[in-house]
Amino acid sequence: MNYKYLFGPVPSRRLGMSLGVDLVPFKTCTYNCIYCECGKTTHLTTDRKEYVPLKEVIAELKDYLDQKPALDFITFSGSGEPTLYSGIGKITDFLKTEYPNYKICLLTNGSLFHLKDLRKEVRSVDLIIPSLDAVSDTAFRKINRPSPQLNPQNIIEGLVSLRKEYPGQIWLEIFIVPGLNNTESELKALKEAIEKIQPDKVQLNTLDRPGTEDWVTPASQKELETIVSYLGTDKVEIIAKFQPGKKVAAYNKDIADTILRTIKRRPCTVQDLSEILGLHINELNKYIHTLIETERIETERKERGTFFRAKT
């Protein structure tokens, strides 16, 4: 079967071997983050809908999982915001009934948990990783460039309600953008929000390959460490870089070699690679991270986006 909605399994920094389930069309999102690795949002919306046919997603999951693959997680993620998908609860129920041995993770920007129905739909997911990058309206709009209906106070209240009602693990991710959310006042507000939300973990992330806007720079390890100690709880950590050697089962050397061979012929964007190789953008991004970290490829920004080329 040729899968349209499943991708991977991909080697994930946090989740081990993770089967991706992409529930919304490319760049359908409530945000248009300046650091997004998938490029600019083309459909900015807060409308929850059945963006792709529920029956088809379930048929693909059944086909794949009946082969009893070894997975650490089945993860709702992709190149848009998965909680926009109105059938997410039905898919979760299907997985928990038919394949109870698999753990489910939801990677989300966390913007829609003020919706009671959504909180109910995701109750049986094992792990939710929501983002919260800013508390002040100014930083929120600069970093996440959200749909105009959204505001950070509502989002924080949604996350507090999620914590009260949801029995699973919540790992809150904060993407640090130097100059925007590492100021004293923003960090103080984030610290207060964390105290209210009470996540099980807080994970700091930063740019490690070009994002949507070329002026976004990464925070240094030292800056991240300073923020960890400022936030001052043992729940805070810096997301470790993926190391291919430690995740042999999930890292497919053939895919990495194919990417290298392709960009040796001509530099490509991640979207070009996805079309040429028939691989999901998120799956490709995992390999691209590793190839950048191991200094086998370099990047160049052009009008059409970020191009990757093999180092000679």
Residues lying near ligand SF4 in the complex (CB under 6 A) are found at: 29, 31-33, 36, 38, 41, 80-81, 109
Residue whose entry in the numeric block shows the structure tokens 């945000």: 31
Cα angle vertex 212, ends 236, 136, to 5°? 50
Exposed/middle/buried for 260, CB within 10 Å: 0-12, 13-18, 19+?
middle
Nearer to ligand SF4, 15 or 65 (CB): 15
DSSP string over 151-192: -HHHHHHHHHHHHHH--SEEEEEEE--TTTS-SHHHHHHHHH
For the CB of residue 144, give the shortest distance to ligand SF4 in the complex, in Å: 6
Identify the residue whose tokens are 């499943």.
6
Min separation Cβ 247 and ligand SF4, Å: 23
Least Cβ distance, residue 41 to ligand SF4 (angstroms) = 5
Map tokens 């309600």 to a residue: 161
Residue 131 or 290 with smaller CB distance to ligand SF4: 131
Element (H, E) at 129: strand 127-130
Q: Which is nearer to ligand SF4, 205 or 252 (CB)?
A: 205
Q: What's the closest the beta carbon of residue 113 comes to ligand SF4, in angstroms? A: 14
> C-beta of 142: minimal distance to ligand SF4 in Å?
13
Closer CB to ligand SF4, 36 or 174, in the complex: 36
d(CA 312, CA 309): 9
For the CB of residue 67, give the shortest distance to ligand SF4 in the complex, in Å.
Answer: 29
Cβ distance to ligand SF4 smaller for residue 109 or 181: 109
CA–CA separation, 18 and 253 (whole Å): 17
**Selection from 170, 169, 135, 127 nearest residue 155 by Cα:** 135
Smallest distance from the beta carbon of 79 to ligand SF4, in angstroms? 6
Q: What minimum distance in Å lies between the beta carbon of 222 and ligand SF4?
A: 25
Report the residue number, 38 or 65, with the smaller CB distance to ligand SF4: 38
Lay out the sheet containing 169-175: strands in order across: 6-12, 16-21, 73-76, 104-108, 127-130, 169-175, 201-205, 236-238
Q: Which is nearer to ligand SF4, 109 or 252 (CB)?
A: 109
- Strand, helix or coil at 30? coil
3-state secondary structure 97-119: HHCCCCCEEEEECCCCCCCHHHH
Residue with tokens 């976004």: 216
Q: Which is nearer to ligand SF4, 41 or 182 (CB)?
A: 41
